[in-house]
Structure formats: structure tokens, C-alpha cells
Amino acid sequence: MKITDNATYLRVALHTLQSKIAPELGSQDAQGAAAMLAQVLGELIKRETESPFVLSAQVVAGDLLAARLSRFAADQGIAVAPDHAEAKDGGTGFTALAHRHDALTARIAALADVLADRRASMDAAARHTLSELLLDAARWSQHYPLTQRDMPVPAGTPVAVPPGSPLDRDLLEGFLRSVHPDGAAIEVLDFQPISGGFGKQTFRTRIREGNGSERALIVRKSDPVPMVRKGTFMVDLEFHLLRELHATGLLPLAEPLWLAKDFPGVDADFYVMQALPGAVPSSFMGAASAAIPEGILLQLAEHMARLHRIDIARFSGFIERFESPALATDTIESCYRRQIVEWKEYYRKAGHLPSPFVTYLLDWLADHVPADPRRPVLVHGDFNVHNLLAVDGQITGILDWECSNFGAPEQDLAYVRPIISQHIDWDRFVAHYRASGGPEVDASTMDFTMAFAAMRLCVIFNKGVRNLQERAHQDIRYAVLDLGITPEFMKQALACTAG
């Protein structure tokens, strides 16, 4: 996959600092530090883009100046140390040019020092020439830092501006007034983004209803330029699936209330759901080392078991509207074979970066589908501690169903195993899952299902990185996907397949 260049990361970091971090800083000291950090980031952007051209010309001018100083010294019979040819070696990037500039600066300074010390022995014409040469040396030394300082930070390719605007308090209030039974009496009292999460934007809001009561809600919104337009990764499909799942009453879920599809003025679809109490036990990247109560992990097994024993027929309305008709008669084996073909076609047609890794995974999966005559079940797809809410050791909510698909229960188990195994014995977790009503586990399919989960995420993150590289946005979350999370899933996928 194409490597993201430094300038892209730096522009995203600068944009994040200026648009999200600096406005939240309270003290003057912090604001001053943020301004200086912005200046440093801008300097680094220039060094990655325009500075090499300036510095290259500076080096050429320095070589000519050093040659003039050397000739003048020779004309005056003054011995000077020879230039070192190795200092001229190197490439055309900023670092190589900076090394050459350093060597030239030292050479010109040494020549200037020697000549200035011999001024008294020179005649008037030579002293005049020396003064001009030293002035040229001073101007040469001053030229680069002044030019660099005054050079504007290059904007690069303009960031794509999608139609509509980011969701804000007024737009949300307008939508709620159009769908809530209290209509124009609805008032949005608070609207704040929730950090974390890579697939969607999430907001916490508080509204006042017609009778004066206040209500806490959560808004889940697509990015204007999403990483994936497939299945429940799309906001409207996630909303409809969650409604059918919530209706079963079997799991602690936020009730999805209203869907805003193509709502005028907003740059992407979103839906509103009831807020649940609790806090997330850990982030995704920190879950292995976090202190997670054992009871939370065993409850996770219980809820996973409840999910996997729901008959697929309970989702007939969703399947009829949004899924392949083949799912009505699919086995787990045929379901995965079909999905692998669909993901392969999607990867090739939806504008992803070339990736030998994704090609390998898709090929390996197609060649290793386990024979499994069972009927598919609903799989969460990202069932892990970072998608739980808990209060006083009790799970109060299961979040983020965008990765869900119909497949084998082992897919959720394989996905969570790397984290669970860091905290409690894996066999104990599986035994508790089975004792809670989970279906029998075929351990031989775990590598396949983990590789399948990793493949989907590698395809999705691939597009996210391409969007970042092509400046479809300046969202720093996608830099984190590129730098940290994609390599982790690549590592897990190879651990499952390379043996």
C-alpha cells in the first residue's frame, strides 16, 4: 500500500492543532505554546515541500561564493585548507541538502575568518574586494533563514468540500423538530462531540421536550467521505438492523429513535438514539494492558452467547430489505464464500490503494473456507471491551454495530480472543460462553474467521488512508488508522494464515 508522505501527516497535525486543540486551551501559556507548535509544524511542512528547491539554489550559490573566496585567497598568497569533496555527496532531499549547506557554511566561515585576519597586510584595492566578498558571505548566510521564515506554508491540494455542512446544534434541532412528536417545542440544550471511534462521528446531546423535561440522546453520524459504503457500515443499514435487534429485548442496547437520511443542509446521514448510562472500560489500543474487571469479561461472554443464539429469522425484515436473497438458504460456509466474492469485487471497484496484503488475504480466505453446514447467525464484528458501557461492574450497553454481518459465531470469539487472553484463561471464557447458551464452538475455524474480520478492516482502512492521501479530509483519526491500527490487524491476519 502506498506510504503516506510526511507533508500529509504534518498538515493533518497542524489542522488538528489549530481547529480542535488550540480553541479549547484556557491559559495564555498553553495558547502561546500552541502557536509556537503551529509555527514548528508549518516549518516542517515547508521543509517537506518547498524548502528543498530554495536550499538547492542556496547550495549552488554557496559553492560559487566559496570558489570566489578561495581564488581571492590564492591571489593574495594566503594558504587555506582544501575543500572536502565528500561534503558534496548526497541526494536532493532536505536532509541531504541541509548537510551540504552545513559543510558550505563551515567552509565559507573558515575562509572569511582567515581573510579577515589578513586584512591589514592587503593593499587598498584588495581590502575593498575583501569587504565586498564578506558582505556577499553575510548576505548568503542570511538568505535561507529569511526566505524560509517569510515563505507561506503551502496549502497543497485543496481539501475536498462535500455538499452540506457538519452537523451542529441548530441543524440537529431542525431535524428533531421535524421528527419528534413535540415538533417546534423541542430545544437542543447541549451538543458535544465524543472522542474515540474511527468508523463514525458520535455526539452527545441533551434536549428539552414539550413538557419541559430534559432527555439525553446520542447522535451517530457518517463521515462526509466514509471509508466504506457497504452493509451495516452505512449509517442507515446500521440503524435498521439495530431497531430489529433492540426489539428482541435480549441485549442492553440503545434504542434507535430517528434516522436522518439526506437531511437538508447536513453533509452526511446520521441517526439519533437513546443515551445509556456507563463508561467504556478501555480503548481499543489500551485494552491489553487496562485493568478490566473479570466480571465485565464474563458478562461479555454472556451477551455474546445471547446474540449468537438469536434465530436468523428474527431479522427477516432487515434481510429482505438489505441483504442478498441467498441468505435465506445460506449455510455458514456458503455465506462466507459469497461474502468473500463480494468483498473482492468491492475492493477492486471502490477505489482502494493497491495492496498485495489484501490480495493475499482474499486469496487465502477463498481457499480456506471451512465446511460448515450450520445456519448463519448475527455477528457483532467488533465485540470487544472498547464497545461496551459499564456501571459499577455491570455492562449497560453494547455499542457500534457497524461491523456486524451474518456468519459464524466463532468470528466474534476469534476477534475478542487476543484481548480476553491477556486477562483471563481463554478456555474459561469459552466455557462461560457455552454455559450461557452460546452454540458449540468449532476451534478449527477460529483462524479463518479472524482472518475474515481482519480482511474487512484492512480493506476499509485502506480506503480511509487513500482518502487521507488525496485530501478528501484532514481528519487525524485516519492517520492513527494508518500508523497504528492497520499494522495490528495485518499482524493478526498473518498470525492466523501464514502457518
User: Would 126 be classed as within a structural domain?
Assistant: yes
Q: Are residues 325 and 443 in the same domain?
A: yes
Q: What is the CATH number of the domain that holds 228?
A: 3.30.200.20
User: Would 430 be classed as within a structural domain?
Assistant: yes
Q: Are residues 130 and 198 in the same domain?
A: no
Q: Are residues 308 and 427 in the same domain?
A: yes
C-alpha closest to that of 412 among 306, 273, 499, 488:
306
Mean pLDDT of 364-378: 97
Confidence tier at 288 by pLDDT (50, 70, 90)? low
User: Would 72 be classed as within a structural domain?
Assistant: yes
pTM, entire model: 0.88
Mean pLDDT of the chain: 93
Q: Are residues 63 and 40 in the same domain?
A: no
Burial class (CB in 10 A: 0-12, 13-18, 19+), 60: exposed
- pLDDT more than 70, % of the chain: 98
In the predicted structure, residue 159 carries a pLDDT above the cut 90: no
Mean pLDDT of 155-180: 92
In the predicted structure, residue 88 carries a pLDDT above the cut 60: no
Query: Which residues have C-beta within 8 Å of that of residue 461, sequence separation ≥ 6?
Result: 227, 481, 482, 485, 486, 489
Q: What is the β-pairing status of strands 201-208 and 187-194?
A: antiparallel
Q: pLDDT per residue over 426-468, tens digit each?
A: 999 999 999 999 999 999 999 999 999 999 999 999 999 999 9
In the predicted structure, residue 287 carries a pLDDT above the cut 70: no
User: Would 160 be classed as within a structural domain?
Assistant: no
In the predicted structure, residue 85 carries a pLDDT above the cut 80: no
Q: Are residues 23 and 59 in the same domain?
A: no
- pLDDT more than 90, % of the chain: 88
Q: Are residues 82 and 133 in the same domain?
A: yes
Q: Are residues 256 and 301 in the same domain?
A: no
In the predicted structure, residue 86 carries a pLDDT above the cut 60: no
Range of the domain at 491: 294-497
Confidence tier at 335 by pLDDT (50, 70, 90)? very high
Single-letter residue type at 268 = A
C-alpha closest to that of 61 among 6, 108, 4:
108
Q: Are residues 237 and 102 in the same domain?
A: no
Q: pLDDT per residue over 118-150, tens digit each?
A: 999 999 999 999 999 999 999 999 999 999 999
User: Would 1 be classed as within a structural domain?
Assistant: no
Mean pLDDT of 365-389: 96
Q: Are residues 449 and 319 in the same domain?
A: yes
User: Would 287 be classed as within a structural domain?
Assistant: no
Confidence tier at 81 by pLDDT (50, 70, 90)? confident
User: Would 176 be classed as within a structural domain?
Assistant: yes
Q: Are residues 349 and 444 in the same domain?
A: yes
Q: Are residues 64 and 205 in the same domain?
A: no
Q: How many CA atoms lie within 13 A of 92 on its CB side?
A: 7
Sheet hosting strand 256-260, strand order edge to edge: 187-194, 201-208, 214-221, 270-274, 256-260
Given 226, 246, 274, the domain boundary residue is 274
In the predicted structure, residue 246 carries a pLDDT above the cut 90: yes
Q: Are residues 487 and 343 in the same domain?
A: yes
Phi and psi at residue 236, to the nearest 5°: -65, -35
Q: So what's the pLDDT on residue 199?
A: 79
Q: pLDDT per residue over 28-64, tens digit each?
A: 999 999 999 999 999 999 999 999 999 999 999 999 9
User: Would 57 be classed as within a structural domain?
Assistant: yes
Domains in the chain: how many in total? 4
Given 241, 274, 307, the domain boundary residue is 274
Q: What is the CATH number of the domain that holds 402?
A: 3.90.1200.10
